Amino acid sequence: MAQHPFPIETVAIALGDRSYDIQIGAGLLARPETWAGLPKAQAAMIVTNDTVAPLYEAQLRTALAPHYKQIHTVVLPDGEAHKDWQTLNLIFDALLARGCDRKTVLFALGGGVIGDMTGFAAASYMRGVPFVQVPTTLLSQVDSSVGGKTAINHPLGKNMIGAFYQPVRVVCDLDTLKTLPERELSAGLAEVIKYGPIADMDFLAWIEAHIGALMAREPAALAHAVKRSCEIKAWVVGQDEREAGLRAILNFGHTFGHAVEAGLGFGVWLHGEAVGCGMVMAAELSQRLGKVDAGFVTRLKALIERAGLPVRGPVLHASDNAGDYIAHMRLDKKAVGGDIQFVVINGPGQAAVQGAPDAVVRDVIDACCA
Amino acid sequence: MAQHPFPIETVAIALGDRSYDIQIGAGLLARPETWAGLPKAQAAMIVTNDTVAPLYEAQLRTALAPHYKQIHTVVLPDGEAHKDWQTLNLIFDALLARGCDRKTVLFALGGGVIGDMTGFAAASYMRGVPFVQVPTTLLSQVDSSVGGKTAINHPLGKNMIGAFYQPVRVVCDLDTLKTLPERELSAGLAEVIKYGPIADMDFLAWIEAHIGALMAREPAALAHAVKRSCEIKAWVVGQDEREAGLRAILNFGHTFGHAVEAGLGFGVWLHGEAVGCGMVMAAELSQRLGKVDAGFVTRLKALIERAGLPVRGPVLHASDNAGDYIAHMRLDKKAVGGDIQFVVINGPGQAAVQGAPDAVVRDVIDACCA
């Protein structure tokens, strides 16, 4: 086999005996070295959805064939609406029907929903089997495949039931992003942009300079964006695996974004779209709390807009929109005893978690909703 | 408050940052010191069942009142048949309906089923909240409340979905055993007896000398039996928390016992009853493999019988009983690639895990079933 022209980048996630590598590169699915050294087992189970399966399932199956005697596949319905117990149980049904033992390796082939559900299934099946993330969306490559958060939704709340459970490897094949719908590419960029204001203003400047290349899906630009995002997230998660403190800064834009998603009904706006306008609101809040200047807010807003994302929040309630936002935010998992916790920018490249006076939050919402 | 006449015994479970204490004593529910020093939270949620709730829920609620502003209770239907997702979800429903945050402390008040379900709910709710085990059966005091195994059943297999998740404390109030049905007391003694042949022949001799006192529920005898069982289990689990090797010896009698439970239908025989005759079969297998003498088997069998437990397995299949047992054992979670793993006694007080020729296993089953 000829040398592949595009290098493989690796980000090491250091979590003691739960450490693992993220591999980033073009054409990884087809490269034999990608799949070397995984845990030995009789059987592998590919978990994917009905959108991704026709695109990449055969390729992954071929790649895994030298390593596992049996390769099973379970195809779930696509979409956040199916991130529930009923769908999760399809994975358990398949594992048990095929007599899969506690060494079976699960492969999550798809976006964040597939990753979350496969991860929770792996955490829970026989109290834990190994799993590999093969994220095929930008969002899952830069965010949900790093950090070991797995979950399903409950009718009364998103991601309410889950586990902290680390994969044994993450394989980010940039070629899989070629088939990503435009809207999902933008949604992924929201999480890429996020890492700038909370941790690395040089990276923010790099994104501003390369937003065109990213929107055009140029592999070199995507590789750097994915790698740097994973590095920053790894640095944060490495210090706070179970979200006792620092890790919460990764939720920049997510508190307001959560209200958008919950208020409109989950799935109406993509998560990344809600985070897009949520970051504008969180930046606006930071400014009103005297932590950043107006120029910072304008700059961030312009980049979010160039990434094809909404910069204004939707109106959730005709007469008391701010009240509706606040009510949703109080129910957020991150609220403590009913007090909403916001990630604010303490200064460019530095974030902190804190409460804020209701009146200020109301002003922000009033100023930022269309 | 007057000094309580009966001392509190403590067994420390050393698992690094997941370490916890098991408290053992009479009247612990009502003693304030039992509940000191638990994690602080706004809310506690007592999880119990419709048999235990009328007996002890009010007492626990009173004891917790000084520590938590809100104390909620969810009452589940009693029995192994309800150890499923639908019932587990009642806990999540209650937590979410009451707006319980990720600091909420769960209290498992009941037997092994309540402990398993509450533990898995605690492991999964918002990816992990603290929980306290308050086991009210002998079986759960000596076995299922130590070691962090939590799970629910799946229609295709028992304990197939769960987590390794440690409680922050275990409170074994020996007074709660006064209300235990006779049959469940015997079932609990099966797990007590188990610790002798696998780890401590002195303890086996002590049980033989005190089986009458144990059957009469004398607190001093119960306290020693619970304490020594927990110590042995703690010693084993401390060396192998996630069941990579040594921990499997705790399954002495459980491979054959699993076939009995699965073959008759779960719940027809109590788990401890199946383990009772399962230990006789495992001892018989050990003898046929040349590891112990006939006297050892006879001695163990006599004690199991004195504990009020069955010493012969049921006939699961009229024409091919041994084949039926073996088929069930192959589906056991502990089988690896279809090979049944047996816990055998390598010599009095020493256990090992190994396979065995089908012909020998068949002979054992033929010899040991009524």
Question: pLDDT tens digits, residue range A255-294?
Answer: 999 999 999 987 899 999 999 999 999 999 999 999 999 9
Which segments of chain A belong to CATH 1.20.1090.10? 182-368
**Mean predicted confidence (pLDDT) in A81-94:** 96
B101/A335 touch (CB, cutoff 8 Å), yes or no: yes
Return the residue matching tokens 């006879």: B298
Which segments of chain B belong to CATH 3.40.50.1970? 9-179
The region, left, alpha or beta by phi > 0 then psi within -120 to 50, assigned to residue A90 is alpha
Q: Is B163 helix (H, G, I), strand (E, B) or coil?
A: strand
- Rounded Cα distance between B186 and B194, Å, is 13
Q: Is B134 helix (H, G, I), strand (E, B) or coil?
A: strand
Told to judge if A251 belongs to the known catalytic residues of this protein, a careful annotator would answer yes
**Mean predicted confidence (pLDDT) in B174-202:** 96
CA angle B342, B205, B170 (to 5 degrees): 70
Instruction: Give the residue on A whose Cα is nearest the Cα of B340.
Output: A101
Active-site position among B183, B243, B305, B306: B243
Query: What is the per-residue pLDDT across B341-367, written as a single tens digit (0 to 9) for each?
Result: 999 999 889 999 999 999 999 999 999
B128/A160 touch (CB, cutoff 8 Å), yes or no: no
Share of chain B above pLDDT 90, in %: 84
- Burial track B172-211 (b if 16+ CB lie within 10 A, e otherwise): bbbbbbeebeeebbbbbbbbbbbbbbbbbeebbebbeebb
Told to judge if A33 belongs to the known catalytic residues of this protein, a careful annotator would answer no
Say if B360 is an interface residue toward chain A (CB within 8 Å).
no
B160/A99 touch (CB, cutoff 8 Å), yes or no: no
Question: Residues of A marked as binding for Zn(2+)?
Answer: 191, 254, 271
Say if B333 is an interface residue toward chain A (CB within 8 Å).
yes
Distance from CA of A43 to the nearest CA of B (A): 9
A157/B336 touch (CB, cutoff 8 Å), yes or no: no
Answer whether residue A1 shows pLDDT above 50: no
Active-site position among B191, B261, B273, B284: B191
Share of chain B above pLDDT 70, in %: 97
**Mean predicted confidence (pLDDT) in B193-213:** 97
CATH 1.20.1090.10 given to domain A182-368? yes
Return the residue matching tokens 């889950």: A162
Answer whether residue B169 shows pLDDT above 80: yes
Answer whether residue A2 shows pLDDT above 60: no
pLDDT value for B1: 42
Told to judge if B247 belongs to the known catalytic residues of this protein, a careful annotator would answer yes
Active-site position among A254, A299, A301, A328: A254
pLDDT value for A244: 67
Answer whether residue A336 shows pLDDT above 80: no
Distance from CA of A127 to the nearest CA of B (A): 4
CATH number of B9-179: 3.40.50.1970
Say if A12 is an interface residue toward chain B (CB within 8 Å).
no
- Rounded Cα distance between B135 and B71, Å, is 19
Other CB atoms within 10 Å distance of the CB of residue A233: 25
Active-site position among B72, B227, B247, B299: B247
Residues 284-313 of B with CB under 8 A from A: none
* CA end-to-end distance (rounded Å), chain B: 55
Task: Give me B31's structure tokens.
Answer: 């003693």
